[in-house]
Structure 1
Amino acid sequence: MIVFLDLETTGLNYHGNDEFVQIGIVDENGEVLLNSLSRPVNHKDWSAAEAVHSISPEMTKDAPTNKELSETIKNIIRDKEVIIYNLEYDVEFILDEIAVAKSAKCCMKPFAELYGEWNDYHGNYKWQKLETAARYVAHNWDGNAHDAAADCQATRSVWNYMKSIGKI
């Protein structure tokens, strides 16, 4: 079984003390298995990230912490193939949880190859934003970009499109 996972975070420093403020997980049929805010314990303000995903400290004040969500996440993804749009980034926030998955795969890298925009500097295909990938596959948004569950649905559309044309 395949599930799609997305996080919204307090910032980009997963090697520091940034945390996720929202997690979404949907199954291969698009059913939402988890859509939860999460209360950071290391941050009281994340204004730069809030400007992107619109999740405020006030919205998370009564939410469970990342640690409190850990067992729920593990129970959902255990022995499943987990697809994440930007795997290398998101997985750093959920290392303990992802360890119970059957596998974890990135959707962004194969999409970058499909999209075909070459990056001479890095010598590979340029990574594209999820919004670009969703537009490319004519995904109909049910919710806003940078909402974890909505981003899971977009990732699901991109993954299924690439699968349908034999790119994954």
Structure 2
Amino acid sequence: MKLILSTENTGTESQDQVIELAIIDADTAQTLFNQRFKPSVFIKDQAASMHGITLGALANLRTWADYHDHILEIIKSAESIMTYNSDFDFRLMRQTAEAFDRVWPQLVPSCRDLGAAYADIAQIEFSEYYGTWKWQKLEVACRQQGIDVSDLKTHNALDDCRATQRLYKKLQAAFDAYWKPFVKPQSTSTKYLEFKENIEEISQLFSQSVPINHIHQKLTQAGKITMSYTHFTKFFKDYTESYVFLTKPDLKPGPKSANDRENEFKANKHEIIVLLNKGYSKAQIHRMLKAEGKWSTSYANFTEVCRQHNLKKYHKFNR
């Protein structure tokens, strides 16, 4: 099953939390989950002005912790997950889970950023400065494609899911072709089912920094999988590719000021775009730059500065 999800949050920073989450079936638009949560932090004024959700309205609701297991059950059942801004949504979900002492999985089904894909597919406006096609707001993208969303509210998690689903269905052939390298095998595949049945153990071993070949060897010796190492690495890539956080984000303080962060970005911008073009995720690029001493700030700050400069996966230097 392909899923679409959307969130509304207390803000956009590293301590902010999800206060509304909706998940629907990408093919049928059936609502699978739609819930608001009471956060443990304040809702920032700017966020409240957009979605209109107040702490008072959430005061008597349960927290993320009460729904955590159910949310993961839905997510793990998916073949793939689409969001209109996957880096942001998945970062906020991880932050929220950890704020309530819940474990966010190291591996989740491939998550695809429909907003970034639409920018490359529609090619509405190209920025020579940033070297990429302009990211379009969801409501703008729907209007550009003649999709009626007059019955939907903006900045409402469920309605944003529905708008995203309408956009996906309108351009499904183009989106599926765009994501073709990351399309997972049919769920009836014996090898795929073997991998999925052992995903919890694979995730745990991976989080302990066990090499992939050792994970494959361990599961093979235990009689839990029969697939070759080649097939195993392919399934592993499918689960870890595109916008999935493989390690806990480093939330330690970064540079002393926004100017310091901006200077780091400018110094490494070309390398970041090259790596994005090669298919590396932002999480992978962040780890590489930190390992080389080229980046000192947290992963949350890294994704934020990329967002500010409209840098997403699959960039073009020239038109």
Q: Does TM, scored on the shorter chain, surpass 0.5?
A: yes
CA distance in structure 2 between the partners assigned to 1:22 and 1:154 by the alignment = 16
**Where do 1:1-150 residues align within 5 Å?**
1-13=1-13, 16-28=14-26, 29-43=28-42, 45-80=43-78, 81-95=80-94, 97=104, 99=106, 101-116=108-123, 117-141=125-149, 142-150=151-159
> Quick one: which amino acid aligns to residue 166 of structure 2?
S
Contact 1:21/1:39 (<8 A) preserved: yes
Identity of aligned residues (%): 25
Cα–Cα, structure 1 residues 40 and 110, in superposed 2: closer, same or farther, change >3 Å? Answer: same
CA distance in structure 2 between the partners assigned to 1:137 and 1:98 by the alignment = 36
CA distance in structure 2 between the partners assigned to 1:9 and 1:144 by the alignment = 16
Q: For each residue in 1:19-76, what CA deviation from the matched residue of structure 2 results, as whole angstroms up to 9, or x when unmatched?
A: 1111111112001111111111122x42210110111111111222223221121111
Structure number having the greater strand percentage: 1
Contact 1:39/1:62 (<8 A) preserved: yes
Aligned position for 1:162:
171
Cα displacement (A) at 1:113: 1.4
Cα displacement (A) at 1:98: 6.6
CA distance in structure 2 between the partners assigned to 1:21 and 1:94 by the alignment = 10
Cα–Cα, structure 1 residues 160 and 97, in superposed 2: closer, same or farther, change >3 Å? Answer: farther
CA distance in structure 2 between the partners assigned to 1:37 and 1:54 by the alignment = 13
CA distance in structure 2 between the partners assigned to 1:135 and 1:26 by the alignment = 21
SS at match of 1:151: helix
Q: Which sections of structure 2, spanning at least 5 residues, go unmatched? A: 95-102, 179-319
> Quick one: which amino acid aligns to residue 5 of structure 1?
L
Q: Which sections of structure 1, spanning at least 5 residues, go unmatched? A: none
Higher RCO, 1 or 2 (CA under 8 Å, sep at least 6)? 1
Deviates more, 1:47-56 or 1:58-67: 58-67
Structure number having the greater helix percentage: 2
Contact 1:74/1:100 (<8 A) preserved: no
Runs of 4+ in 1 over 4 A off after TM superposition: 96-100
CA distance in structure 1 between the partners assigned to 2:108 and 2:141 by the alignment = 25
Compute the RMSD of aligned alpha carbons: 1.8
Answering whether residue 161 of structure 2 is matched by residue 152 of structure 1, we say yes
Cα displacement (A) at 1:146: 0.7
Cα–Cα, structure 1 residues 105 and 97, in superposed 2: closer, same or farther, change >3 Å? Answer: farther
CA distance in structure 1 between the partners assigned to 2:121 and 2:63 by the alignment = 37
Contact 1:2/1:83 (<8 A) preserved: yes
Cα–Cα, structure 1 residues 65 and 93, in superposed 2: closer, same or farther, change >3 Å? Answer: same
SS at match of 2:6: strand
Cα–Cα, structure 1 residues 138 and 64, in superposed 2: closer, same or farther, change >3 Å? Answer: farther
TM-score (norm 1): 0.89
SS at match of 1:22: strand
> Quick one: which amino acid aligns to residue 9 of structure 1?
N
